[in-house]
Structure 1
Amino acid sequence: MTVEKPQEMTGDTNSDGFLTNKDVHRIKHPSLDTNDSSSSRYSVDSQKSRIGPPPGTYVIKLPKDQIYRVPPPENAHRYEYLSRRKTNKSCCRRCLCYSLSALLIIIVLAAIAFGFFYLVYQPHKPQFSVSGVSVTGINLTSSSPFSPVIRIKLRSQNVKGKLGLIYEKGNEADVFFNGTKLGNGEFTAFKQPAGNVTVIVTVLKGSSVKLKSSSRKELTESQKKGKVPFGLRIKAPVKFKVGSVTTWTMTITVDCKITVDKLTASATVKTENCETGLSLL
């Protein structure tokens, strides 16, 4: 293979060693016809590309979004602080979102479980009634305070559904006349299977009870008529049980309106009406 030596370029040059414009058209490639105008243009373009642009200062323009700024040294610590705070905020926001999502899932699952439990086992409120009342210690012939002792016999019915009941300790029972508390006490804890009727007895005691003159007069008149009204309020913690599974502690409230014929140990219940409420929390 033969390598042909290129023709030397001759002509005037400027002070930087570059050819002047008037001599560029003289440069020709040895393999091209000198009479061909297209070859001349090719030769000139080739020579220009080999020569390259003259040295100098150039201005390069970049789009605004491609310019990256570096904070000055005095603001470097502030830049680091703001960057770190943004990261901490993102982490806290992410943790909060995860916590709320988990809480929502737990609530939904609990609601589904409770709905299934209710449909299958049909939990219900037990029914209560007062079957006996005995009153001692109330003296209406004197205006001095008295200390009554009221014995209540309560009948609890768990006759429907498939669930047993567990009455826990910590219940409260109060007896009232015309808004004045005459005594208080509690029932013993007990278990009541499904379909069971249980009779429980408690003694409610008061100490140094003083009635207003109007209430004392009303109580005296009620005894003369043979219709003495009392109010009984019970609040008891209870759990439902099916098999070996026991629910969380709920609260049963019982409000009874009772009428007895007299204020003695042999009193007879004339009327009674009890309403039961169940709180799931």
Structure 2
Amino acid sequence: MSDRVYPSTKPKPTAGAPPLPNPPSKFRQPYRPTPRQPVKKTKPQLSCRRCCCLVCFWSILLLTLTLLAAAIAAAAFYALYHPHRPAFSVTSLKISAFNLSTTPADDSTRLTAKLNLTLSAKNPNKKFLFSYAPISISLQSDSITLANNTYPAFNSSPSAISLIHTSTPPRTQLLDADSLNSIKSHLRRGGLPIRILLDTTLIVRMDNIKTKRFGIRVTCDGIHGIVPKGKTVIPAKTTDAQCEVDLRIKILKWTF
């Protein structure tokens, strides 16, 4: 018994025709997206530059607030108490001795002078007491120091006027040509311009509160001193005398 040969149902490609596409697969795999890796959350880190900026910002802010608070406190203190610096004036001045002597051996000239001075120191405050340290007094004419002395420490009560009286010891000094010519020029015009310089330190007290000691300089100008004639001492002209008080407050290394 012979086997039957059945013809194939698949058509044979003809010569020159393109190949037939494969039939679609009956078992197509479904689309599954690739899972994403979880993102790790990291804490933000401050850079060195940002830290420096923050430190500078807070430092400047604190400094500004401190200065503002100090200014407000100072304004409130001034409004409540109205503090005033001490006031000085020249009461009298006399040149009690004045002598120019020349040495023939070297043709040098020496000046010997002695002065009597009275100043008034007023405390214009109603609630503050001034405590003065010893006062250094210098009397000058142009750049020449005629005499100097010291006055002891004292206290000036509120609204009080204290008198500072001193008689300087005789001072002898050698004059150069410029100083001698300056003095002779003033003497020909009838007298000497005199400046008074006072240097001391001061403490301000109010009840149990007191400040640190700070320096003051008093400068008195506008004084016309008259040289004595023989034994007659003539008072200086002090009607145009004016005294200025400068506070020398030291903060760290600076003095104002």
Q: For this structure pair, what is the TM-score category when the shorter chain's length is used for normalisation?
A: 0.5 to 0.7
**In 2, are the aligned partners of 1:136 and 1:149 still within 8 Å (CA)?**
yes
Distance 1:183 1:261, change over 3 A: closer
Three-state SS of the structure 1 residue aligned to 2:184 is helix
Question: Which residue is 2:245 aligned to?
Answer: 277
TM-score, with length taken from structure 2: 0.65
**In 2, are the aligned partners of 1:149 and 1:204 still within 8 Å (CA)?**
yes
Question: Which residue is 1:176 aligned to?
Answer: 140
Paired with 2:165 and 2:232, the residues of 1 have a C-alpha distance of 14
Richer in strand (by share): 2
State the Cα deviation string for residues 68-87 of structure 1 (Å, max 9, x = none).
Answer: xxxxxxxxxxxxxxx99x52
Paired with 1:240 and 1:158, the residues of 2 have a C-alpha distance of 11
1:242 to 199, 206, 230: 206
Distance 1:140 1:280, change over 3 A: closer
State the Cα deviation string for residues 39-73 of structure 1 (Å, max 9, x = none).
Answer: xxxxxxxx633xx67xxxx9x9xxxxx9xxxxxxx
Three-state SS of the structure 2 residue aligned to 1:125 is coil
Paired with 1:141 and 1:209, the residues of 2 have a C-alpha distance of 10
Matches within 5 A, 1:1-281: 22-24=24-26, 48-49=29-30, 86-87=47-48, 89-136=49-96, 138-142=98-102, 144-169=109-134, 171-204=135-168, 206-210=171-175, 212-222=179-189, 225=190, 227-256=191-220, 257-263=222-228, 266-272=233-239, 273-279=241-247, 281=249
Give 1:238 deviation, angstroms: 2.2
Three-state SS of the structure 2 residue aligned to 1:259 is strand
Letter in 1 for 2:161: V
Give 1:107 deviation, angstroms: 1.5
Bigger Rg, which one: 1
Distance 1:262 1:48, change over 3 A: same
Distance 1:151 1:100, change over 3 A: farther
Paired with 1:117 and 1:265, the residues of 2 have a C-alpha distance of 52
Distance 1:252 1:217, change over 3 A: same
**In 1, are the aligned partners of 2:100 and 2:110 still within 8 Å (CA)?**
no
Paired with 2:234 and 2:56, the residues of 1 have a C-alpha distance of 64
Q: Which has the higher contact order (CA 8 A, sep 6+)?
A: 2
Superposition CA RMSD, Å: 3.6
Paired with 1:207 and 1:213, the residues of 2 have a C-alpha distance of 14
Gaps of 5+ in 2: 1-21, 40-44, 103-107, 250-256
Three-state SS of the structure 1 residue aligned to 2:76 is helix
Richer in helix (by share): 1
Gaps of 5+ in 1: 1-19, 28-46, 61-65, 67-82
**In 1, are the aligned partners of 2:125 and 2:158 still within 8 Å (CA)?**
yes
* Identical counterparts, % of pairs: 19
Three-state SS of the structure 1 residue aligned to 2:85 is coil
Three-state SS of the structure 1 residue aligned to 2:65 is helix
Three-state SS of the structure 1 residue aligned to 2:111 is coil
Paired with 1:197 and 1:160, the residues of 2 have a C-alpha distance of 11
Give 1:94 deviation, angstroms: 3.5
TM-score, with length taken from structure 1: 0.60
State the Cα deviation string for residues 151-204 of structure 1 (Å, max 9, x = none).
Answer: 3221111244432212235x5432111332223343322211111111123455
Three-state SS of the structure 2 residue aligned to 1:145 is strand
Three-state SS of the structure 1 residue aligned to 2:119 is strand
Paired with 1:99 and 1:202, the residues of 2 have a C-alpha distance of 53
Aligned length: 209
Give 1:113 deviation, angstroms: 1.4
